[in-house]
Structure 1
Amino acid sequence: MESLRLIEQWPVTNAAAAVVRQDGTVAGSHGPTGQRFRLASVTKPLTAYAALVAYEEGVFELDDPAGPEGSTVRHLLAHASGLAFDEDRVTAPPGTRRLYSNAGFDVLGEHLAKAAGIPFAEYLRQAVLEPLGMTATGLSGAGSPAATGLSGAGSPAADGVSTVDDLVRFAAELQAPRLLHPSTVATATSVVFPGLKGVLPGYGHQNPNDWGLGYEIRAAKSPHWTGALSSPATFGHFGQSGTFLWVDPVAGAACVALTDRDFGEWAVPLWPRFTDAVLTELR
């Protein structure tokens, strides 16, 4: 796909991108797709998928208590537990605000590990990464691809390391689930606790700030990191390390882009322009 070459114009040292269709075929790729990059918050969709596998396996129920008083697994996945952004501190009653929370996903990982009886990183590997053939993906204890390898005890919120090649496999799974029942994925990628206001990191207050179970829902948010041509049903995540993964069910395709430069003002105009070019080429 010619549109993927736009990453050559990004002010980054290394970037890779790929598009995978709903039927699992790769429509195109560009750059070092086998290179490992820090995922930052693109770790969360992987963590969420592991949690949903745990739910289907009966490890816990989505409405089991987890996190602050009154909060459940569902609240943690949907950033509605009331926990603060990066600390285990309650800032609102559960279910009243969309408070994006790394702390909430760390609590989720701890809850899953306790319920399953194995470390979260190992559950993630067994439940998601190994079945999908994502051999270059894992949690790094120091948030660096070169730090502790791929078996460390990193944060379920932000310490993932992966490649475009691996994330293409995951993006294909999101579109045609094999590890989960399609109805579970449909629930996870639909709005949970509708109408909640909140801040979308990097893009300010959104009303509503729609979210599913671990997946941000594009809806009518503005500004946004996807494109003007992205359907409201688009879901996915972006990461502070300059990474993103989106799935547009209307377009019947998903896109992954990984870079080695932290998200910032450089990405605000370039990412939507890139996404619109990809969607135009897919038509």
Structure 2
Amino acid sequence: MSTVETTTFAATDGFPHPALVGVTGPEQTVAVQGDEHAVLPLASVSKPLTAWGVLIAVERELVDLDEPAGPDGSTVLNLLDHTSGLPFDGEKPQGAPGTRRIYSNAGMDAVGKRVADAAGMEFSEWMTREVVQPLGMTDIDVIGRPSAGYRASIADLLIFGREVLRPRLIPAALRDLALRVSQPGLRGVVPGYGAYDDNQWGLGFELKGLKSPHWLADSFPPETAGHFGGQGSFLFVDRAHDIAAAFLSGVPFGDEHKRIWPALTEEIVTRYGG
């Protein structure tokens, strides 16, 4: 029986904050640094989890990706891929739907509310019933904002990573749609990194594309999907190497995260992506 490797990643040497790291293949966790059950804020790493809950609602035909949601002219899809026109926070649109990639907490909160209304329950209850419990997550808290309010452990993020690699809660075709570039060629900003002419996103997942600088190493395939959060967290799913990995630090994202993350993600793939 294979076991989880307790390890130390060289890229985290000198990092002045907690550095919890985990790596999983499609079947099980393969490596952990630190306490895999320590619960820390996910910040915007909440978004891929929320998107999964929305996609389950799509599969159940409670909502449709093309139905109106958010500002005039926007759809559920626009809310998921940050093209609704809504700002980072607030209700006043900053552009017409489908014309720019405007990274928006407000949009993700709005799509959570749309599912809650359709399901007749709080979105946190929907997430608990349809995502958390079926996947066997034991540490996660999904009471906060769908955009950025969840808390979880490395162990639970890796459970979710395995779900994305080998989906059980939604069809593989719907997973593929979520991890495919939605509305390519749109300019937009990745917070903390700058503006890109082709700021590629799927549905709730950022895609690496050709962005550089980036929190993932430059060697990652363009289709690598994931998210990072303002509390020093990340989750990525690298289907080319059939692995997912997560990082939690519980402190605001800053220069130290930007310094170590490309090297750390490269180290993860080099050691476990074979």
What is the rounded CA distance, in whole Å, between the counterparts of 1:19 and 1:160 in structure 2? 20
Is 1:4–1:28's contact at 8 Å kept on the other side of the alignment?
Answer: no
Indicate conservation of the 8 Å contact 1:3/1:281, yes or no. Answer: no
Structure 2 unaligned runs (5+)? Answer: none
What does 1:58-207 align with in structure 2 at a 5 Å threshold? 58-139=61-142, 152=143, 154-207=144-197
Question: What residue number does 1:21 align with?
Answer: 25
Contact in 1 for aligned 2:46/2:150 (Cα 8 Å): yes
The CA distance in 2 between the partners of 1:25 and 1:196, in whole Å, is 36
1:37 aligned residue: 40
Shift of 1:5: 5.3
Q: Which runs of 5+ in 1 are unaligned?
A: 140-151
The one-character-per-residue Cα deviations of 1:113-158 (angstroms, maximum 9, x if unpaired) are: 111100000001111011001121123xxxxxxxxxxxx3x21000
2:265 to 272, 275, 281: 275
2:255 partner SS: coil
SS at match of 2:37: coil
1:25 Cα shift? 2.2
TM-score (norm 2): 0.95
TM-score with structure 1 setting the length: 0.92
Equivalent position amino acid for 1:263 in 2: F
**Contact in 2 for aligned 1:7/1:16 (Cα 8 Å):** no
Equivalent residues of 2:8, 2:33 under 8 A apart = no
Counterpart for residue 9 of structure 1: 14
Q: Deviations over 1:66-93 (max 9, x none)?
A: 0000000000000000001111110000
> 2:235 aligns to what SS in structure 1?
strand
- What is aligned with 1:149? none
SS at match of 1:19: strand
Question: How big is the shift at 1:11?
Answer: 1.4
Q: Are the equivalent residues in 2 in contact too, given 1:64–1:72 (CA < 8 A)?
A: yes
Counterpart code for 1:220: L
1:6 to partner: Cα distance: 3.7
Question: Following the alignment from structure 1 to structure 2, what is the Cα–Cα distance between the partners of residues 231 and 252?
Answer: 12
Distance 1:34 1:3 in 2: 17
1:257 pairs with 232, 247, 257, which one?
A: 247
Q: Distance in 2 between matches of 1:242 and 1:159?
A: 14
CA contact (8 A) 1:3 1:274 kept: no
Mapping for residues 212-223 of structure 1, pairs under 5 Å: 212-223=202-213
Which residue of structure 1 lines up, in the alignment, with residue 226 of structure 2?
A: 236
Alignment of 1:41-56 (within 5 A): 41-56=44-59
State the distance in 2 between where 1:6 and 1:260 align.
18
Q: Which amino acid is 2:35 matched to?
A: P
| DSSP 3-state at the match of 2:253 | coil
Q: Deviations over 1:162-187 (max 9, x none)?
A: 00011110000000000110000000
- Once residues 228 and 99 of structure 1 are traced to their aligned partners in structure 2, the CA distance between those partners, rounded to angstroms, is 23
Deviation at 1:8, TM superposition (A): 4.9
Q: Distance in 2 between matches of 1:40 and 1:209?
A: 21
CA distance in 2, matches of 1:91, 1:19: 38
Shift of 1:196: 0.6
What is aligned with 1:146? none
Which residue does the alignment assign to 1:209? 199
Q: 1:97 Cα shift?
A: 0.2
User: 1:216-266, CA deviations, whole angstroms, 9 ceiling, x for partnerless residues?
Assistant: 000101110011221111100000000000011111111111112211111
Could you list the structure 1 runs, at least 4 aligned residues long, displaced by more than 2 angstroms after superposition.
1-9
SS across alignment from 2:267: helix
Distance, in Å, in 1 between the alignment partners of 2:115 and 2:199 is 26
Which of 57, 60, 65 is 2:60 aligned to?
57
